Amino acid sequence: MDLIWDGVTEALDLIFSGNSYVYEVTFTSLLVSGSATLIALALGLSIASFLAFRAPPGRTLALSAFNAGMALPPVAVGLLVSIMLWRTGPLGQLHLLYSREAIVIAQAVIATPVIAALSTAALQGLNPNLRLQVLALGASPWQAALLLFREARLSLLAAAMAGFGAAISEVGATIMVGGNIKGSTRTLTSAIVLEVQQGDFETAIALSFILLAVILVIVALFTVLQQRRIPD
Amino acid sequence: MIPSLVHLQDILVWRARHSVLDVPSLDVLPNEVLAVIGPNGAGKSTLLRVISLLERPSRGNVHFAGQPVSGSLLRHRRRMALVFQEPLLLDTTVEGNVCTGLSLRGVRGDEQRRRADEWLARFGIAGLRRRSARSLSGGEAQRTSLARAMVLEPELLLLDEPFASLDAPTRESLIDDLDTVLTANRVATVFVTHDRAEALRLGDRIAVLMSGKLRQLGSPADVFSSPVDGEVAAFVGVETIVPGRIRDAASGLAAVEVDGKIIETASELAPGSDVLVCLRPEDVVLSEAGSATPSSARNHLRATVKRVRPAGPYVRVELDAGFTIVAHVTKQSVEDLGIEPGTDTLATFKATAVHLIPHRRA
């Protein structure tokens, strides 16, 4: 218990003392996971719209793949992205390995199936005639998609939260493709792993509390947005 | 000849190797209400989706205002408005819903509010403007849906069974209000329903769709009094449909033999023609078996009551006159005449009430 209590007090101390290391890894975490979530949202919502509204042949197969993708092992994703970004890999000439961009790519690969699968289910849950009604009201395909996203916002925001959660809590792929370089690719999760390896459990616990606090604040913001209702 | 607002040409819709709609030609005229009736699965909603450009037919063309529809469908869609059976409101306020189509067209906010105010008032829901659409009753929601369509000032209004899921009093009041709006605005309307009474009330012309095919198109009087075949006759409420043969014909009056009984009717068909004899139940008058009240009706058949059962405001009486005749009479008449199964009665109907359909015997 003492260890946890010490971790909490150190977390408060790190936050309020203006420790630049903590602010830097927190900023890196938010930057890469936020970017990865935005990319995953764009890809996931596009895939979900296509699968839900166009009902292409092989939809069930594709959905099965995305559902399975929700359980994608991050280490395997890290390995795959690393191979792609190696100097001799297909994307080697981009020189992205051990950069923040590499972490964004890996986290986006992890979050996209989560958002795609949950968003497809959300859009399929809408009344099928609602899309026809929106088009009949004179919506262009883009306008129709935005209106339908608004109608499914409860479930779509839940999908976004799940995607963000998968991205920011990820560590295996982050270390593999980012290299855990201080001042560049070190995130909250990779910093926690490092502190544990170095035996500095108090700092590790402190960083864990900061990570939890960041997740709580962001998810709370999403939830407020999600639960905003028009009074009856 | 009035140029049509919408012309369907050689429309065929295939689904899963089956034809669900096959309409060689259909016109919607400016200012008219075309009621499309037919049983469930007849293809009515598919027809509406084709007209509203929400479904591409497998074959054929839709012409709007004299021009074949091609290129941007959005441009044409924005000249129409569609109301479904379910209100399908968006999760916003009543006013937000009514303004949705205007907002999609880029209409300015103050103009949106002005037009929304007008149509909220005309459908009697001005007091609900700030309410969440989720909290509305079925009738209020459908009024919102109709206001959302009419606020667009469409050239063509498409209604897909808009009253089907409403309770009777709500339905009556909404039909009244819509009738008033359509009469005042004279917007060309295609009104799909399976309810004959609604079609009669609102339709200037009636199209009967069955198994994806347009079986009859005409004025309400034509369709309801002179159906083109037995199936249409049954759908439009003709309850006595029996095969017969014309025995004699002279001066526009024909004597038709039905199971040994002779029925007189106005017809130009030649003797020997096989026909289906159609008689609407409300055209049959029942009286006591021995009575001989003078009347201009040419057909008086002695019959025995087979079955009596309530049918809404009327009582449906099934009679055996050598063949089955169905009559709708009031509850008071049933009591006054002592009508019950087994009693004898006299069924009377005019020659003009009988409609003959040429019919080839199997």
User: Residue B13: CA atoms inside 13 Å, Cβ hemisphere, count?
Assistant: 23
Tell me: pLDDT of B349 over 70.
yes
Distance from CA of A139 to the nearest CA of B (A): 6
Tell me: pLDDT of B55 over 80.
yes
Residue B78 to residue A127, Cβ atoms within 8 A: no
Contact list, A151 vs chain B (CB under 8 Å): 90-91
Percent of chain B with pLDDT over 70: 99
Residue A147 to residue B152, Cβ atoms within 8 A: no
CA B88 to CA B142: how far, in whole Å?
9
The mean pLDDT value of chain B amounts to: 94
Tell me: pLDDT of B244 over 90.
yes
For residues B243-267, average pLDDT: 92
Question: With a CB-CB cutoff of 8 Å, which residues 138-157 of chain B face chain A?
Answer: 148, 152
What is the per-residue pLDDT for B146?
96
Tell me: pLDDT of B42 over 70.
yes
Maximal CA-CA distance, chain A: 64
Residues of chain A with pLDDT under 50: none
Nearest CA in chain A to B91: A151
Residues B124-143 pLDDT 10s:
999 999 999 999 999 999 99
Model confidence at B252, pLDDT cuts 50, 70, 90, reads confident
Nearest CA in chain A to B157: A136
Tell me: pLDDT of B291 over 80.
no
Backbone angles phi, psi at B248, to 5 degrees: -150, 145
Contact list, A138 vs chain B (CB under 8 Å): 74, 77-78, 101, 104-105, 152
Distance from CA of A158 to the nearest CA of B (A): 17
CA A172 to CA A206: how far, in whole Å?
20
What is the per-residue pLDDT for B362?
62
What is the per-residue pLDDT for B64?
95
Contact A117, A156 (CB under 8 A): no
Tell me: pLDDT of B1 over 80.
no
What is the per-residue pLDDT for A10?
83
Contact B255, B249 (CB under 8 A): yes
What is the per-residue pLDDT for A228?
80
Nearest CA in chain B to A147: B90
Q: Which helix (H) or strand (E) holds B359?
A: none
Tell me: pLDDT of B71 over 90.
no
For residues B145-166, average pLDDT: 96
User: Residue A88: CA atoms inside 13 Å, Cβ hemisphere, count?
Assistant: 0
Give the count of beta carbons closer than 10 Å to the beta carbon of residue B34.
23
What is the per-residue pLDDT for B84?
96
Provide the CA B26 distance to its chain's centre, in angstroms.
16
Residue B77 to residue A127, Cβ atoms within 8 A: no
For residues B228-248, average pLDDT: 95
Using CA atoms, how far residue B139 sits from A198, A231, B18, B37, in Å, is: 69, 20, 36, 22
What is the per-residue pLDDT for A164?
96
Residue A147 to residue B82, Cβ atoms within 8 A: no
Using CA atoms, how far residue B178 sits from A138, A221, B183, B199, B311, in Å, is: 22, 45, 8, 13, 27
Q: What is the pTM of this model?
A: 0.87
Asked casually if ipTM beats, i.e. exceeds, 0.90, the reply is no
Bridge partners of residue B21, in order along the sequence:
B13
Q: Which two tokens stand for residue A24?
A: 């830097």
What is the per-residue pLDDT for B288?
87
Nearest CA in chain B to A138: B78
CA A101 to CA B144: how far, in whole Å?
49
Residues A203-212 pLDDT 10s:
888 899 899 9
Residues B309-334 pLDDT 10s:
998 889 999 999 999 999 999 999 99
Tell me: pLDDT of B273 over 80.
yes
CA A83 to CA A89: how far, in whole Å?
6
Tell me: pLDDT of B215 over 80.
yes
Model confidence at B292, pLDDT cuts 50, 70, 90, reads low
Q: Is B79 on the interface with A (CB under 8 A)?
A: no
Contact list, B81 vs chain A (CB under 8 Å): 136-137
Sheet holding B67-68, edge to edge: B67-68, B59-64, B6-15, B18-28, B213-218, B205-210, B33-37, B188-193, B156-160, B80-83
Q: Which residue in the set A136, A150, A232 is minimally distant from B54, CB to CB?
A: A136
Contact B39, B235 (CB under 8 A): yes
Residue B91 to residue A151, Cβ atoms within 8 A: yes
Q: Which helix (H) or strand (E) holds A63?
A: helix A59-69
What is the per-residue pLDDT for B148?
98
For residues B10-34, average pLDDT: 95
